[in-house]
Amino acid sequence: MIWWQIALVGTAAFCAGAMNSVAGGGTFLSFPALLAVGVPPVVANASNSVALWPASLSGAWAYRQELARYKRYLIPMGFVSLVGGVCGGLLLLATSDAKFSVLIPWLLLFATVLFAFSGRISALLRRGNKAKPGNSPGALAGHAVVSVYGGFFGAGMGILMLASLAMAGHDDVHEINAIKNLLSAVIYSVTVLTFVIAGAVDWPYTAVMLLTATLGGYWGASVARRIPAVWLRRFIIAVGALLTVFYFIKTL
């Protein structure tokens, strides 16, 4: 690593931590930064997951009181998260860098569109579904798909999970966010363990990102909330759109 690579990756991770603490979408900065300094796509995705993992744990811990009353409900959902996260991580490790490079622009496009229309999607699903929340086969199957996707790529997983929980009958925003944070933490934890055991992590860059992303998350929680949320969302969408176009052109 040379100074500009450390600066690029560290700054991107700091901004990613801040963005995730306020509105999400940090992967749109941290993952491409790793690609820019020459980290292979599969290792870059695995390293990014490890670097942003502590934030998922802190998010789940913050909602521990709200989650206490859902223990029985969360056990099967947590098991599905665990299995799906491992499957997604193994799927990533089984994918060659060449194939994953082709998938990158499509995954970024999917995540960007999800982020851009997340509010409308969640509102529509909450309005159209009056069922009592539960672990129906359909709800578990939907969450399994989200878990595999999260283990494989991660960007946009939170939005997908919000949608699947709304489809399962949850209509309270705080309730949905609390469950989402916990299940996301489970998925990230098992995928991180999978990547570490498989030796698919670039530790020098990951160490830099772990430090700066944690600092960014703290800064974001205390300062960045002063930034109007709509401006931040527009910035994230613009970054996602530009990166999507860039990687589509790169694959031509």
| pLDDT of the residue at 11 | 95
Can you give the length of the chain in residues? 252
Q: Three-state SS for 228?
A: coil
And the tokens for 199? 């030796």
And the tokens for 7? 């600066």
Residue pLDDT, tens place only, 222-242: 665 566 767 777 877 888 888
Give the residue extent of every domain in the chain: 3-250
| pLDDT of the residue at 140 | 85
Which residues 6+ apart lie within 8 Å of 168 measured at CB?
129, 131, 133, 134, 136, 138, 139, 142, 143
**Contact between 24 and 6 (Cβ < 8 Å):** no
The pTM (predicted TM-score) of the whole model is 0.79
Low-confidence residues of the chain, pLDDT below 50? none
Hunting for tokens 């699947």 — which residue is that?
164
| pLDDT of the residue at 163 | 74
Query: What count of other Cβ atoms lies within 10 Å of the Cβ of residue 234?
Result: 12
